[in-house]
């Protein structure tokens, strides 16, 4: 499933294993705002165990910060599952989503994910944090996010079909467990997350393939320091979430997964204070602050 660089900073005192140079620097509050430092993979002084420990603590720290919004959205998805099976009055709504997905095919997957996660989230952030004052950077972010998340929507749609073919469409414990394990421990760490990370790394390097490859030269450090922390933090959100999503028929899994992603993105956008606002509050400019509801 889709992931985001949630809000965390490896300069926080609560992450004692992260006293070395930054691996990933947070720009504002969304994956498109992540700033990859000049030497993200250059950590020769750290052994494998230290790299893994550092990344695990980063990820767990982010998970603690995101705990409240994660539980809120999981409860929302649980309510949708209960509604689908026990409230006949809402069946027409689910029927519309099913028809859109079936009739639209991969075009629906691309445009639905691109517009909601890539477009609406950016619009929401501009009007929430910048009073609707658009800049060229905002438009570029929205366009790039639309394409990236649209392609990820296509990938997720095909993946759901493969899961249904391999494990069936039932809701037994065995089927849900198999789909969740493959989703979170095969598809996500080895395809979905690296694809998104590389896409935004490429953009942060002004679309230079040469500089992107340079940062990936030491792949072990790059993956452990850049991808693993985000993967760990999002497991605590997406593992329960995909179990609930796989309770639905295959034709509903993508639309509801997109809905969860969009709400997740907008909720994190609302909770995280953007960089520009911190300049007037007297806080240190390189630390990320969140509202009281997400603090640990």
Q: What is the pLDDT of residue 22?
A: 42
Asked if residue 4 lies in contact with residue 241, where contact means CB atoms within 8 angstroms, the answer is no
Q: Write out the two tokens for 247.
A: 């309770």
For residues 1 and 243, give the distance between their C-alpha atoms in angstroms, rounded to a whole number. 11
CB neighbours of residue 14 within 10 Å: 13
Q: What is the pLDDT of residue 260?
A: 86
Q: Write out the two tokens for 36.
A: 């990859």
For residues 10 and 18, give the distance between their C-alpha atoms in angstroms, rounded to a whole number. 6
For residues 120 and 148, give the distance between their C-alpha atoms in angstroms, rounded to a whole number. 14
Query: Which residues 6+ apart lie within 8 Å of 255 measured at CB?
Result: 97, 98, 100, 101, 112
CB neighbours of residue 56 within 10 Å: 16
For residues 121 and 115, give the distance between their C-alpha atoms in angstroms, rounded to a whole number. 9
Q: What is the pLDDT of residue 106?
A: 94
CB neighbours of residue 173 within 10 Å: 9
Per-residue pLDDT of the chain (296 residues; tens, 9 = 90+): 444 443 332 333 332 333 334 444 443 334 444 445 454 444 445 566 777 777 777 777 776 777 777 888 889 999 999 999 999 999 999 999 999 999 999 999 999 999 998 888 888 888 888 888 899 888 988 999 999 999 999 999 999 999 999 999 999 999 999 999 999 999 998 898 888 888 888 888 888 888 888 877 766 777 777 677 777 877 888 899 999 999 999 999 999 999 888 887 777 776 654 444 443 344 443 333 322 333 32
Whole-structure pTM value: 0.76
Asked if residue 34 lies in contact with residue 27, where contact means CB atoms within 8 angstroms, the answer is yes
Q: What is the pLDDT of residue 113?
A: 94
CB neighbours of residue 269 within 10 Å: 21
Q: What is the DSSP string of the chain?
A: ------S--TT-TT-TT--SS-SSB--SSSGGG-B--TTTT--TT--HHHHHHHHHHHHHHHHHHTHHHHHHHHHHHHHHHHHHHH-GGGHHHHHHHHHHHHHHHHHHHHHHHIIIIIIIHHHHHHHHHSTT---HHHHHHHHHHHHHHHHHHHHHHHHHHHHHHHH-S---HHHHHHHHHHIIIIIIIIIIHHHHHHHHHHHHTTT-HHHHHHHTSSHHHHIIIIIHHHHHHHHHHHHHHHHHHTTS-HHHHHHHHHHHHHHHHHHHHHHBPPHHHHTTTT--TTS--B-GGG--
Q: What is the pLDDT of residue 94?
A: 94
Backbone angles phi, psi at 116, to 5 degrees: -75, -55
CA 168 to chain centre: 27
């Amino acid at each position: 499933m889709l992931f985001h660089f949630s809000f965390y900073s490896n300069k926080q005192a609560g992450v004692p294993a992260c006293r070395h140079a930054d691996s990933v620097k947070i720009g504002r509050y969304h994956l498109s705002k992540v700033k990859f430092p000049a030497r993200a993979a250059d950590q020769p002084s750290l052994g494998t165990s230290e790299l893994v420990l550092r990344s695990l603590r980063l990820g767990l720290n982010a998970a603690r910060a995101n705990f409240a919004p994660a539980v809120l959205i999981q409860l929302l998805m649980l309510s949708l599952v209960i509604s689908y099976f026990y409230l006949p009055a809402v069946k027409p709504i689910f029927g519309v989503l099913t028809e859109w997905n079936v009739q639209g095919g991969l075009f629906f997957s691309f445009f639905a994910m691109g517009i909601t996660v890539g477009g609406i989230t950016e619009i929401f952030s501009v009007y929430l944090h910048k009073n609707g004052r658009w800049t060229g950077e905002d438009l570029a972010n929205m366009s790039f996010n639309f394409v990236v998340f649209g392609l990820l929507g296509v990938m997720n749609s095909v993946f759901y079909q493969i899961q249904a073919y391999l494990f069936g469409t039932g809701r037994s414990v065995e089927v849900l467990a198999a789909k969740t394990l493959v989703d979170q421990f095969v598809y996500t760490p080895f395809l979905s997350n690296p694809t998104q990370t590389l896409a935004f790394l490429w953009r942060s390097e002004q679309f230079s393939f040469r500089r992107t490859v340079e940062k990936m030269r030491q792949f072990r450090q790059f993956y452990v320091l850049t991808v693993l922390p985000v993967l760990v933090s999002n497991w605590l959100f997406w593992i329960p979430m995909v179990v609930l999503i796989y309770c639905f028929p295959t034709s509903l899994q993508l639309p509801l997964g997109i809905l969860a992603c969009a709400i997740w993105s907008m909720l994190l956008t609302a909770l995280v204070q953007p960089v520009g606002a911190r300049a007037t509050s007297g806080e240190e400019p390189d630390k990320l602050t969140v509202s009281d509801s997400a603090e640990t």
